[in-house]
Amino acid sequence: PQLPEALLLQRRRVTVRKADAGGLGISIKGGRENKMPILISKIFKGLAADQTEALFVGDAILSVNGEDLSSATHDEAVQVLKKTGKEVVLEVKYMKDVSPYFKNSTGGTSVGWDSPPASPLQRQPSSPGPTPRNLSEAKHVSLKMAYVSKRCTPNDPEARYLEICSADGQDTLFLRAKDEASARSWATAIQAQVNALTPRVKDELQALLAATSTAGSQDIKQIGWLTEQLPSGGTAPTLALLTEKELLLYLSLPETREALSRPARTAPLIATRLVHSGPSKGSVPYDAELSFALRTGTRHGVDTHLFSVESPQELAAWTRQLVDGCHRAAEGVQEVSTACTWNGRPCSLSVHIDKGFTLWAAEPGAARAVLLRQPFEKLQMSSDDGASLLFLDFGGAEGEIQLDLHSCPKTIVFIIHSFLSAKVTRLGLLA
């Protein structure tokens, strides 16, 4: 089967359940002695791996049941795979650069479990240099908005791996340096060139954004690649574009008005909250040192996303821009309103960043009368039931007010938090 485009850049976890008779049903190539990761070179039709419909020729096996294979020799990988039980969890990532060599080879050249290690890309020690054919197969990856990562490659104790992916997701290089210092040096040098090209990309996108009627004339505040932690346990590069009002997430660099207007996901900043940044404190399930988490209130509930970046400088920049963006959005919107029911009466709730909460009567044909008005300063508690009810307590004689919003209240709850946060920041109580 063909690998779906959406999975092309992801680390994936695939569970293979072996039959009573027979193994996994794959052949592998590569290994440390070949200067290559362990790669699936053949999948035998009808056997366990094939039945998952989730493994592909060209997948690098990063780990087996949690055991890291990033530095394994071919023979070591064979032994690890042979010792597995009936259920095997493989962590894999597709290696686009090498899969054509396997797909174009005949069945007789595939390497099975007990075959000697070999690689179609292995250099001969006696070769004085690249042959003309090697030169014709050289890889060229544009650094314009390229994704560069040292954190999403195999868990190598020596931290020698480096990943470079083109902005359109079509070309990927998976490299291993001689040591950690060399890998860090290369990553820094390549990222510096990518950063030098970013202002031009930003200008191009700004021009497209201005021409997109739905986006208006929003300014782009920040653009860059984030590594998203997926619910499945894998990761995927995500291009993030931060405007005055929204965080737009793309699978690849949008280079047309149509592509720009169709992000994979959109998070309105006024309903988005930064809930974690940096090393984990306590039991929070975010333990990556360079990670941050966002929560967005939607009509379906709360969307939570965990991202990581490559450097403390990137983490600081994204954290500041997201917090400031939330406050800018709150100051720009000023007021939101929603229909609701209070004590059986149809009403309209208005929340204003300066004037606070106003509850209006909304019966058909009736005058627009104010039923309740309270400033933010009087709000002692707010909560919701996650379904339709919003609870507000202003400490008055009426006690806790229960409003039925007739839909998930999370959006308005997050907006109330954004208004409060912006007001506190306005007073200079937060840096």
Give the pLDDT score at 83.
85
Question: pLDDT tens-digit profile of 104-158?
Answer: 443 333 333 333 333 333 333 333 334 444 544 567 889 999 999 987 555 667 7
Task: Tell me if 11-94 shares its fold with 335-427.
Answer: no
**Which CATH architecture best describes the domain 11-94?**
Roll (2.30)
Mean pLDDT for the chain overall: 82
One DSSP character per residue, 24-36 reads --EEEEEEGGGTE
| Over residues 16-38, mean pLDDT | 83
Question: pLDDT tens-digit profile of 335-369?
Answer: 999 999 999 999 999 999 999 999 999 877 666 78
CATH match of 220-333 with 1.10.10.10: no
CATH of domain 335-427: 2.30.29.30
Contact 59, 95 (CB under 8 A): yes
Give the pLDDT score at 106.
37
Q: How confident is the model at residue 374 (pLDDT cuts 50, 70, 90)?
A: very high
Least confident of 7-21, 56-70, 148-162, 252-266: 148-162
Give the pLDDT score at 10.
80
Least confident of 65-79, 135-149, 171-185: 135-149
Parallel, antiparallel or unpaired: strands 356-361 and 370-374: antiparallel
Helix (H, G, I), strand (E, B) or coil at 372: strand
* Domain range list for the chain: 11-94, 220-333, 335-427
Is the predicted pLDDT of residue 101 greater than 70, yes or no?
A: no
Q: Please list the residues that pair with 148 across neighbouring strands.
A: 164
Question: pLDDT tens-digit profile of 224-264?
Answer: 999 998 877 778 899 999 999 999 999 999 999 899 999 99
